[in-house]
Amino acid sequence: MGLGAGYGWVEGTGGMADDSGFAFGAAAGVSVDLTNNIAIDTGYRFRDIMISGSDTKEHQIMTGLRFSF
């Protein structure tokens, strides 16, 4: 689990101007052991840059396998 804050920017495309401002994000995840050496990881991440106009919210779901030797 994690939280963060900082500064972010958006590069304009299609006639939109570049913009920047305060940014924040949050993340959480879980890992489940399938065997002694293999685990499946799943996580969610959210990010937003607080600027007027365009929607800069980002939602991501990530899944992966982890192997240990």
Residue 13 lies in a domain: no
What's the DSSP call for residue 15?
T
Residue 14 lies in a domain: no
What is the rounded CA–CA span in Å between residue 32 and residue 54?
Answer: 37
**Cβ pair 12, 19 in contact under 8 A:** yes
Domain of 56 in residue numbering reads as 2-8+21-64
Query: What is the count of structural domains for the chain?
Result: 1
Residue 52 lies in a domain: yes
Q: Across the chain, how many H-helices and E-strands are there?
A: 0, 4
pTM: 0.72
Residue 69 lies in a domain: no
Residue 47 lies in a domain: yes
Residue 15 lies in a domain: no
Residue 37 lies in a domain: yes
pLDDT tens-digit profile of 10-67? 887 766 668 888 999 999 999 999 999 999 999 999 999 888 777 788 999 999 999 9
**Cβ pair 48, 56 in contact under 8 A:** yes
| pLDDT at residue number 51 | 85
Query: Cα torsion for 32, 33, 38, 40, to the nearest 10°?
Result: -10
